[in-house]
Structure 1
Amino acid sequence: MKLCISHTTEYSYREPVMDSVNEIRLTPFTNEQQSCYQHAISVEPNASLFSYDDYFGNRVHAFSVNKPHRKLTIRTQMTMVTKEAVMPEAGQNGMPPEREWEMLATDNAINRFAEYLLPTEYTGITPEVAAFAELPLLGDRSEEAHGVHSWLAYVAGRIHREFVYDPEATDVTTIAGEMLRRRRGVCQDFAHLMIAACRSRGVPARYVSGYHFVGDLQGGSADFEQASHAWVEAYVPGTGWCGFDPTNNALVGERYVKLGHGRDYKDIVPVKGVYRGTSEAELVVKVDVKKVEE
């Protein structure tokens, strides 16, 4: 699938501000599932961009606007070609299910994936989160009777079934345990809960930010609000990192464009920075994802 994506972030300040220092994580990955054919970033007021890769391999662009300004606008535009997800078959990686779980429990795996196994501020493993990860099990059998991939698909499906998508229920600071009690939230909350559940069972999991194309699922209408999306990548022995979207109960495939990953939301905030001046500001974010007919 070929997708054209535009993303505009605009800050409007009540009074002029200055010495604005920012970093943005809005550059897509190129990997086995997606290819970036074109990508552009513009900033108003005009500023020079400095780029580098952070600890997790995400491309970061940093810039400063020192002169007084009352508006800061960041625009990105990209053209992506994506591929459909491939559902691994049981035993395809040559390992019985119990061997997959045994591999995740080895010192080598724990050391290799340490940052994706430890709890964070957003993904704390409370008794409630641990209980959610344990029960109910898959039918009348333990998860060890199933491959890691099928267990992950089960967890994503359970979150989708048992929790209500409600943009008014949580905010950007909500942690997994709090959302678990409220039983409602948004994609960020669903991703954090799945990550916490995975880590409580010893499955390395990371938070992913990006875009989800749903335009052709809205009855052909272009008049609907789009936004950035969040999902989960978890490590499956013998297969590698696999994407799961608990918000939509879907494998991550051609409708998804990945921007970055980290331990939780805090590692990959799309735009963040500091400035001198008034705290009274308005933020407007607009995202447009369109399918390009080839």
Structure 2
Amino acid sequence: MTVLKVRHLTTYRYRRPVGFGEHRMMFRPRDSYDQRLIEATMTISPRPSALRWVHDPFGNAVTLVRFDRNAEELVFESRIAVEHFPDPIDFQSEERAKTYPFSYAPEETPDLAPYMVRQCPDPDGELERWARRFLRPGQDTPTGRLLMTLTAAIGESFVYNRRTESGTQDPLTTLRLGRGTCRDFALFMMEAVRSLGFAARFVSGYLYVPTRDGPRHLGGGSTHAWVQVYLPGAGWVEFDPTNGIIGNRDLVRVAVARMPSQAVPLSGTFLGRAEDELGMTVEVQVTSDDPAAG
């Protein structure tokens, strides 16, 4: 067990005092057997006039805030600490799911169905053809090996680059450009495995970058994104195509969703002219209390 601490600072700046619409935050991690939230604080400036918590359709904790004053700067600082329990992945799935293809059980299918439906256009089957390259023609393919190979192939075949623009590019753009952000790679993998009949969902959170691992993981210093794939008997298993991570090692899970747009860490509006906006800065620090992890 390791205690991971996250400081997430977002600052919006404007040329003159502006008003603010409602802002929506997804900063509070999901409690589970492999990560336990032990501390969470939020500092917002200017002080909100109203704040409330809700659970979204996926069970994520969402904070909604409103403001009644104008300001030239809007600052959100989230600090969290979680007990992190790395979950060793040995793909102890049910026997029927150890090789691909397999079918989900009738009692699971209605709940998994929304995560199996492809959400992005692939009119000529380009993405599906890419995914099927990792199958063994005419033979069953070990499920764990298939997903591990596909995860590694994304990290090795595409170039990671940060992008300041909001949003996520569609999978065909990622395939054709050969580059993208962690959110792009997560959506790409999610749609690729869905084309093979897997249930998959998008995960937003944070990445711890331990110096003991030598080269830095890609995506450190900002929010991070990866994928969960549902395997009967193993449940939702983490796959980070940006870094080739299988399982939850170094990953702090905040939100899960069917699509990336449903798991945006922070969103909102301001009331003013477009030219008033000077930009946004984001700083993320993930540290460990475990001396051996440094």
The question of a shared fold, defined as TM-score above 0.5 by the shorter chain, is answered with: yes
> What TM-score does the superposition give when structure 1 sets the normalisation length?
0.88
For 1:135, give the aligned amino acid.
Answer: R
Counterparts of 2:214 and 2:237, CA distance in 1:
30
- Asked if the contact 1:194/1:246 (under 8 Å) is kept, the reply is yes
Residue 220 of structure 1: how far off its partner (Å): 11
Residue 263 of structure 1: how far off its partner (Å): 1.3
1:285 aligns with 2:282: yes
Residue 41 of structure 1: how far off its partner (Å): 1.1
Match of 1:242 in 2: 237
Q: Compared with structure 1, are the counterparts of its residues 94 and 252 closer, same or farther at alpha carbon in structure 2 (3 Å cutoff)? A: closer
Counterparts of 2:221 and 2:234, CA distance in 1:
32
1:53 aligns with 2:51: no
- Asked if the contact 2:5/2:80 (under 8 Å) is kept, the reply is yes
- Asked if the contact 1:124/1:196 (under 8 Å) is kept, the reply is no
1:88 aligns with 2:83: no
Identity %: 26
Aligned residue pairs: how many? 284
Match of 2:118 in 1: 119
1:102 aligns with 2:102: yes
Q: Compared with structure 1, are the counterparts of its residues 170 and 41 closer, same or farther at alpha carbon in structure 2 (3 Å cutoff)? A: closer
Match of 2:78 in 1: 76
Residue 293 of structure 1: how far off its partner (Å): 3.1
- Asked if the contact 1:85/1:251 (under 8 Å) is kept, the reply is no
For 1:290, give the aligned amino acid.
Answer: T
For 2:238, give the aligned amino acid.
Answer: G
> What TM-score does the superposition give when structure 2 sets the normalisation length?
0.88
Q: Compared with structure 1, are the counterparts of its residues 173 and 190 closer, same or farther at alpha carbon in structure 2 (3 Å cutoff)? A: closer
Partner of residue 127 from structure 2, selected from 129, 132, 141:
129
Taking the TM superposition and a 5 Å limit, the aligned residue runs for 1:174-253 are 174-217=169-212, 226-253=221-248
Where in structure 1 are there 5+ consecutive unaligned residues?
A: none
Counterparts of 1:220 and 1:88, CA distance in 2:
25
For 2:286, give the aligned amino acid.
Answer: V
Counterparts of 2:166 and 2:46, CA distance in 1:
29
Q: Compared with structure 1, are the counterparts of its residues 178 and 261 closer, same or farther at alpha carbon in structure 2 (3 Å cutoff)? A: same
Counterparts of 2:283 and 2:213, CA distance in 1:
18
For 2:133, give the aligned amino acid.
Answer: L
SS at match of 1:199: helix
CA RMSD, 1 decimal: 2.5
For 1:119, give the aligned amino acid.
Answer: R
Taking the TM superposition and a 5 Å limit, the aligned residue runs for 1:1-16 are 1-16=2-17
Counterparts of 1:219 and 1:3, CA distance in 2:
19
Counterparts of 2:129 and 2:168, CA distance in 1:
23
- Asked if the contact 1:233/1:243 (under 8 Å) is kept, the reply is yes
Match of 1:258 in 2: 253
For 2:176, give the aligned amino acid.
Answer: R
Deviations 1:234-276 (A, max 9, x none): 1001110000111111113231101101012100111111232
SS at match of 2:22: strand
Counterparts of 1:44 and 1:103, CA distance in 2:
51
Q: Compared with structure 1, are the counterparts of its residues 217 and 50 closer, same or farther at alpha carbon in structure 2 (3 Å cutoff)? A: same
Deviates more, 1:171-180 or 1:255-264: 171-180
For 1:266, give the aligned amino acid.
Answer: S
